[in-house]
Structure 1
């Protein structure tokens, strides 16, 4: 959230006092209303009974679903903040998007909403006082990289906000102040959805169905561009087998000849032609060759 101007701080203090919420809770809801383009908010704060959702026109959901008194207070707070945001330059974007959300334990169904620019509401009593301190010269007040300029649509769900740039084929996602920009390739994005509660994975619908954002190539992260990593060099081919010629090699035929010779010597010994000593000596000589 950008820094409030002195006039903006006075306005927020007054709103918080009127609706009986702390300044911290009111600032949290202001951020949610801004992320919802002034006509909706998805919030999560203890003073609002945890996570919840508000839409202009009367739909208010809180985790304490039977607490109608809290719902009325939240609706009044969001309505006043929505009127405030509508009078602030550059806080409300033109364009549209569809969102689908599921709260944690709140039983929220799917929500589809279209956002468009809103003119000043003369009945809200705020005038045109600047709510935030102007950005430093040479910088922009947007949370996405400046070269992307104007998104076709913006939105937020459960603390995650996104901006879609169809012409540039880029999708910017902000999670806790960490901005990542994805290449949307040839997807024609028509809506976003987030799985269960804060931090759940974000998906989008395109002509190819429901796609996980994490499957897109990352082109910008950690404050700078992400360059494609070169493909790793292929592993060198294994060297051809080289037999070890240092050890003596014996042909199977030569070994068979030695055993055949020993058998003939054994016959000579049996016939009494060779003595036992002569047979043993000759046999040892032959076996030493194997």
Structure 2
């Protein structure tokens, strides 16, 4: 929970006295309106009749639905808190950057515009600007479950914090408009751009926890398999077939089918194959 500064506590005390609520109830409502970006609030406090919802423009829902006096007081408190927050530098955000879940549960948050400035109401959170400071100020931030995003379109960078690690990606020519985190089996993070829905894993990694990732070492090429040497068995079989052929030629010569010259010619040819 965000902590109030002395100035924030002074404002809460003033609101509590004028609207007749405790400082705990007013602080609860201030955080609720802040989480609703100044335009709405979902709250649950016994002084407000339990669970309820307020939306700028007059919509009010209370657990004690017929207590019109309480409705007027809570509505007035919410509207005044909204006006106070709007006058704080960079406290409320605007824009269209989105972070949402496609399946499964979990808390989610979305915001755009300038990051939260040095508000006089709340003590600065040391973990607020979790991205590398050399990236500057993001145009959009978002969070869901244990994943946080910060988008820097002017330098084509996207920072993602998950599992305690901070990854910085090169967004190239993508104009990122929002994120989607799928839960459960095959969970993945995707983002939407002018090219449609794209997986975060397709972006080049610039750094992890401030360190430039090392390229993978080249794999050694596999030498071609050596040609097997001719086996002695094949050589012996070749010699045997040559000698058998010469023996048959000798028989043909002895029977008068071949002359000595023909026999010697064929014999020389066969011996040349060895």
- Where 1:203 maps in the other structure, the secondary structure is strand
Q: Of Structure 1 and Structure 2, which has the larger fraction of its residues in helix?
A: 2
Paired residues of 2:96 and 2:177 also in contact (CA < 8 A) = no
Cα deviation, residue 132, structure 1: 1.3
Cα deviation, residue 78, structure 1: 9.0
Cα deviation, residue 95, structure 1: 5.0
Deviations 1:231-282 (A, max 9, x none): 514414325425167x57634343246778999xxxxxxxxxxxxxxxxxxx
> Which residue does 1:227 correspond to in 2?
213
Residue segments in structure 1 that go unaligned for 5+ positions in a row: 43-53, 61-66, 119-127, 264-290
Cα deviation, residue 168, structure 1: 1.0
Q: Which one has more relative contact order, counting CA pairs under 8 Å at least 6 apart?
A: 1
Corresponding position: 1:17 with 2:17: no
Deviations 1:117-163 (A, max 9, x none): 69xxxxxxxxx63411586xxxx951211011121222233453312
Paired residues of 1:219 and 1:226 also in contact (CA < 8 A) = yes
> Which residue does 1:182 correspond to in 2?
169
Q: 2:188 aligns with which of 201, 214, 223?
A: 201
TM-score (normalizing by structure 2)? 0.53
> Which residue does 1:131 correspond to in 2?
122
Q: 2:148 aligns with which of 156, 161, 172?
A: 161
- Where 2:213 maps in the other structure, the secondary structure is coil
> Which residue does 2:19 correspond to in 1?
none
Paired residues of 1:184 and 1:216 also in contact (CA < 8 A) = yes
Give the Cα–Cα distance (whole angstroms) in 2 for the partners of residues 229 and 142 of structure 1: 29
Give the Cα–Cα distance (whole angstroms) in 1 for the partners of residues 62 and 102 of structure 2: 21
> Which residue does 1:250 correspond to in 2?
235
Paired residues of 1:95 and 1:152 also in contact (CA < 8 A) = no
Paired residues of 2:40 and 2:56 also in contact (CA < 8 A) = no
Larger displacement relative to structure 2 (91-100 or 166-175): 91-100
Cα deviation, residue 16, structure 1: 8.1
Q: CA RMSD in A?
A: 5.5
Give the Cα–Cα distance (whole angstroms) in 1 for the partners of residues 41 and 187 of structure 2: 17
Residue segments in structure 2 that go unaligned for 5+ positions in a row: 17-21, 43-52, 65-70, 249-274
> Aligned pair in 2 of structure 1 residues 116, 177: CA closer, same or farther (>3 Å)?
same
Cα deviation, residue 17, structure 1: 2.8
- Where 2:240 maps in the other structure, the secondary structure is helix
TM-score (normalizing by structure 1)? 0.50
- Where 2:138 maps in the other structure, the secondary structure is coil
Give the Cα–Cα distance (whole angstroms) in 1 for the partners of residues 113 and 214 of structure 2: 36
